[in-house]
Amino acid sequence: MSINLLDLVKDQVTGQLAKQASSFLGESESSVTSALGGMMPALLGSVIQKSATPSGAQGIMDMVSKLDLGSLSNIAGLFGGGASNVNGLLNSGGGIVDTLLGNKAGGVIDAISGLSGLKSGSTSSLLKLAAPFLMSVIGNQVKGKGVSFLTDMLMGQKSNVAKALPAGLGSVLGFADFGGSSSSSSTSRTTTTTSSSTTPSGGGNSWLKWLLPILLGAAVLYWLSTKGCGKAAVDATTDVVAAVDSTAMKAADAAGAAVDSMGATMDKLFSYKLASGFELVGAAKDGVESQLVSFVEDNTKAIDKNTWFNFDRLLFDTGKSTLQAGSKEQLTNVAEILKAFPIVKLKIGGYTDNTGDPKANQKLSTDRAFTVMNELVALGVDKARLSAEGYGDKFPVADNATEEGRQQNRRIALRVTEK
């Protein structure tokens, strides 16, 4: 019998992690459990994708070999060992999430927050907490075995991921080849209907609930009437129609839920075609691209020193100023916006939380701000239009006493200085 990694995760991790993480995050255990139910297949599916090439599979093998499998088997002990243990887990998990999800992380966080009711900051932190535990389950299975065993095991998980993945997430993550009754494939089918539908709000599929049983019922009644089967036949037909009606309504409700879920995710996305012809894609409606374009185009919005817009898809190596590949899409979008508005000038600001040495934080924030500025220059923006400064742990926007607050304070922002 083949291994089902998601069942192992559920048995060994989900319940204990939900209990500990709900207390740490200040969220209900039921919401955390619901969120984990979407996160684990999303993360596992991303592991499968990464392992599709020999180099990717070796990377996953290297990742799990570095984990402390012993400590990860004691969830209560990790959370009971103080803030340093949990912060270490978050840092480790952040690196795993960056590697697995890259620039898809924001879409995953939005989708799972919508499904579970968690705040986005809590979802982000929970994703980082969950990732090491999933990898530890994989690590325990491949211990002492080679990359070929890892690959074979992971490729056998596709149908399990497809069945467990919530509606909408498959499309966000690009799990088109996972087959089975996956949410991703059903979402792909229903998205086409949604995009071309002119049906009023209330669900483009709602007519299925009534049309299908009526047509089937009418057909059965006609057949029976031509056969002269009498009252007993009509009574039997009534039962058949009732059963068909119930089944059709359940199917339509399920399809409608998938459409609604995907619609909620798509509603949060921002797309915009610049005058240059470049189309901004993959951005959030409240992300830095939409805020920057809106500010630049609105002549009633005056430039001041207090209006900053936070990048929302920049990924740095932990404790370093090195940008990860997943940051390229948002930086490209911002560079193209600047090219489309050639008189606009920006200042890039770097910020950290208050953890650690203030001088080190100041240096890190400065290095990161200049890294972003230099990346924009490399993408074709005139350096004379940009400036950068690091502010360290000054100017927090949230409470540094919580992980969610510290995460918000670790940011790169931009301010328009001329338009």
Contact indicator for 390, 406 with CB cutoff of 8 Å: no
Distance between CA 316 and CA 123 in Å, rounded? 19
Closest CA to 48 of 140, 160, 129, 141: 160
Per-residue pLDDT of 344-368, as tens digits, reads 999 999 999 999 899 999 999 999 9
* 247 or 320, higher pLDDT: 320
- The answer to whether 194 and 259 have CB atoms below 8 angstroms apart is yes
Contact assessment for residue 283 and residue 268, using Cβ atoms and an 8 Å cutoff: no
Could you tell me what percent of the chain has a pLDDT over 70?
76
> In this structure, is residue 199 part of a structural domain?
no
Question: How many Cα atoms within 13 Å fall on the side-chain side of residue 198?
Answer: 0
Q: What would the mean pLDDT of 327-347 be, rounded to a whole number?
A: 93
Give domain status of residue 51, yes or no.
yes
Task: Kindly state whether residue 26 falls inside one of the protein's structural domains.
Answer: yes
Task: Please tell me whether residues 150 and 250 are part of one structural domain.
Answer: no
Is residue 201, in this structure, part of any structural domain at all? Answer: no
* 183-197 per-position pLDDT tens digit: 333 333 333 333 333
Cα–Cα distance, 134 to 14 (Å, whole number): 10
Within a domain: residue 187? Answer: yes
Residue whose C-alpha is closest to residue 168's, from 259, 33, 250: 259
How sure is the predictor about 254, in pLDDT bands with cuts at 50, 70 and 90?
low
Q: How sure is the predictor about 336, in pLDDT bands with cuts at 50, 70 and 90?
A: very high
Task: Give yes or no: residues 262 and 144 share one domain.
Answer: no
Could you list the residue range(s) of the whole structural domain that residue 240 is in?
208-267
Residues 33 and 174 in one domain: yes
Alpha helices in 81-119 (DSSP H): 83-101, 105-116
The count of domains in the chain is 3
Q: What is the pLDDT of residue 77?
A: 81
Measured at the alpha carbon of residue 315, what is the angle toward residues 380 and 386, in degrees to the nearest 5? 35
pLDDT confidence of 375, banded at 50, 70, 90? Answer: very high
Label the pairing between strands 269-273 and 279-284: antiparallel
Query: Do 388 and 256 fall into the same domain?
Result: no
Q: What is the CATH number of the domain that holds 283?
A: 3.30.1330.60
Let me know if residue 200 belongs to a domain.
no
Cα dihedral 390, 393, 394, 399 sign = positive
The pLDDT-based confidence of 69 (bands split at 50, 70, 90) is confident
Same structural domain, 217 and 301: no
Residue 202 falls within a domain, yes or no? no
Give me the sign of the Cα torsion angle 288, 100, 13, 160. Answer: positive
Amino acid 134 reads L
Does one domain contain both 221 and 246?
A: yes
pTM above 0.75, yes or no: no
Strands 386-390 and 309-310: unpaired
270 vs 65 pLDDT, higher one: 65
Shared domain for 253 and 338, answered yes or no, is no
- Final residue of a domain: which of 194, 221, 252? 194
Helix axes 83-101, 120-142, angle to 10 degrees: 80
Q: What is the pLDDT averaged over residues 81-103?
A: 83
Q: Which residues contact 253 (CB under 8 A, 6 or more apart)?
A: 209
Written as six digits, the tokens of 206 are 């709602």
Classify residue 319 by burial, with Cβ atoms within 10 Å: 0-12, 13-18, 19+. Answer: exposed
- Please indicate, yes or no, whether residues 334 and 246 belong to a single structural domain of this protein: no
Position 60: which residue type? I
pLDDT tens column, 2-55? 789 999 998 888 888 998 888 888 889 989 999 999 999 999 999 998 888 988
Q: Is residue 370 situated within a structural domain?
A: yes
Q: Pick from 216, 247, 267: which residue ends a domain? A: 267
Tokens coding 262: 């995907």
Which region among 136-140, 242-246, 300-304, 323-327 has the lowest average model confidence (pLDDT)?
242-246
- Cα dihedral 237/238/240/243 (nearest 10): 170
Question: Is 325 in the same domain as 400?
Answer: yes
Separation between Cα atoms, residue 262 and residue 144, nearest integer Å: 41
Domain termination residue (choose one: 248, 267, 286): 267
Same domain, 64 and 187: yes
- Same-domain pairing of 309 and 246: no
Same domain (yes/no): 258, 288: no
